[in-house]
Amino acid sequence: MELYHSIQLPGLTIPGNIILAPMAGYTDAPFRQICLENGAVFTYSEMVSAEACYRENKKTLGLLVRAENEDYLGVQIFTSNAKSAALAVKAILPSRPSLVDLNCGCSIKKILKSGCGAQLLSDPRKIRDIILAIRDVTDLPVTMKIRSGIDRESINYIEVADAGIEAGISLITLHPRTKSQVFTGKADWEHLEILKNHVPIPVIGSGDLFTPEDVKNMLTRTGCDGVMLARGAIGNPFIFNRTRQYLVTGREPPQVSIEAKLKGALKHIRLFIRSRSEERACIEFRKHFSAYTRYIPDGAALRRSAMQASSYAEYENLVNEYLASKRAEF
């Protein structure tokens, strides 16, 4: 099979296999739009609280508003309660999600304390019951994202996958680290290969994907059906087009120029400002700008200056001055 291809789910064809992962605080509509413009074909909202959804919390439901170029949108919920999951899905259906995903992988402490996210891995039966409750209220594909286990002594991703399949999931994403690892150490891609050989549904891989070469290596080594880009896409939405080109042609794509990176950051800021006040947008954007400017010459000085920026004009001036001073070096 070709490395770049569509993924077929019941009632849904995902048109490619390089997917933007759900990331709290990052995958809002402006970021998803930028990723789609740069080659992503399927995106996820930030993960949302099931309880906040069914209580119709405006801020939470606002996270499900589609970007203007978004044909597909996966919605990922977190909960530890089957009844809450069912009520949440009923509440989000007016947002026209393409699929519903259950988060069984988040390792943020406040999520774990409520028994959600990766804490669910300790009870595969509860995962099965939550999936069954979701499937009772929708015909949309239901999927889940998991980790390898709670810790090295309790690796149970196969048992968790079996529980999900018994309940009727259509696709499973594995980040092959444990809950206790969070993002430390190295993702164990061997778990992906074992899972792919075990289950009859598509498997998506996540973890340590920062370059097109990383994606190709994961696909060829594990046989997984696709990849989910997370940290590797922050400040680097260009990775989608570059990776697709690499998978299709086999030729290493050219690096994105520093000017293109910074112009892309400015466009991202403009989209950000559409959805919030300019000052708030520019302050919140600092974390994105830090990522866009990572690994560029004198990027640290540029980032320090951006920490004071609270208007688009300030960001634009910083970028233009930087480019003018460095253009002879590029």
User: To the nearest 10°, the Cα dihedral for 149, 152, 154, 157?
Assistant: 30
Selecting among 35, 106, 224, 282, the annotated active-site residue is 106
CB atoms near residue 259 (< 10 Å)? 14
Answer left, alpha or beta for residue 67, where phi above 0 means left and psi between -120 and 50 means alpha. beta
User: Residues with Cβ < 8 Å from 171, sequence gap 6 or more?
Assistant: 7, 9, 99, 141, 143, 201, 202, 203, 204
Orientation of helix 189-198 relative to helix 212-222, angle to 10°: 40
Q: Among 149, 173, 215, which Cα is nearest to 76's?
A: 173
116 is catalytic: no
Q: Say how many CA atoms lie within 13 Å of 73 toward its Cβ.
A: 26
Active centre residues (catalytic): 106
